[in-house]
């Protein structure tokens, strides 16, 4: 009924999140599963977000949006992104069961972020695949 990830896999994932996203200038990045569990989370040291609540809401939100996609005949929506005045949030699915959530400020462009997220997702997939 449960699954686990070890030191080695989590080290790889955290390294990817650090090098591909945090070093790029994003404020906070976390990998969750669709149940809302937090797999890994990193931030720039200035964030005080409640990651566990964010994870529960992000998983629920992603599930709701996927259901909407199905109803209108889409497999899924390719861009999931909420823009705020200071902070924005971007979601990217990682395989069937995981979600990568990135919070970033005005100084990061969405296009560049999407590119880097796609790269990171590819690397995380490799780490998670059995």
Residues that bind another protein (CB under 8 A): 1-7, 10-11, 33-39, 50, 52-53, 56-57, 59-60, 63-64, 67
Q: Are 108 and 29 in contact (CB under 8 A)?
A: no
Measuring CA to CA, which residue among 52, 50, 4, 61 is closest to residue 32?
52
- Nearer Cβ to another protein, position 58 or 113? 58
CA–CA separation, 77 and 48 (whole Å)? 29
Q: Are 66 and 34 in contact (CB under 8 A)?
A: no
CB of 56 to another protein, least distance (A): 4
CB of 111 to another protein, least distance (A): 31
- Nearer Cβ to another protein, position 10 or 19? 10
């Amino acid at each position: 009924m449960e699954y686990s990830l070890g030191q080695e896999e989590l080290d790889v994932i955290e390294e990817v999140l650090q090098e591909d996203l945090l070093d790029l200038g994003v404020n906070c990045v976390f990998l969750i599963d669709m149940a809302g569990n937090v797999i890994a989370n990193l931030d720039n040291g200035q964030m005080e977000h409640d990651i566990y609540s964010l994870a529960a809401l992000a998983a629920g939100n992603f599930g709701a949006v996927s259901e909407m996609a199905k109803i209108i005949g889409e497999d899924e929506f390719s861009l999931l992104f909420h823009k705020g005045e200071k902070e924005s949030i971007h979601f990217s699915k990682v395989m069937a069961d995981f979600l990568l959530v990135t919070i970033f400020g005005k100084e990061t462009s969405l296009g560049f972020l999407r590119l880097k997220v796609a790269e990171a997702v590819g690397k995380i997939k490799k780490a998670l695949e059995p």
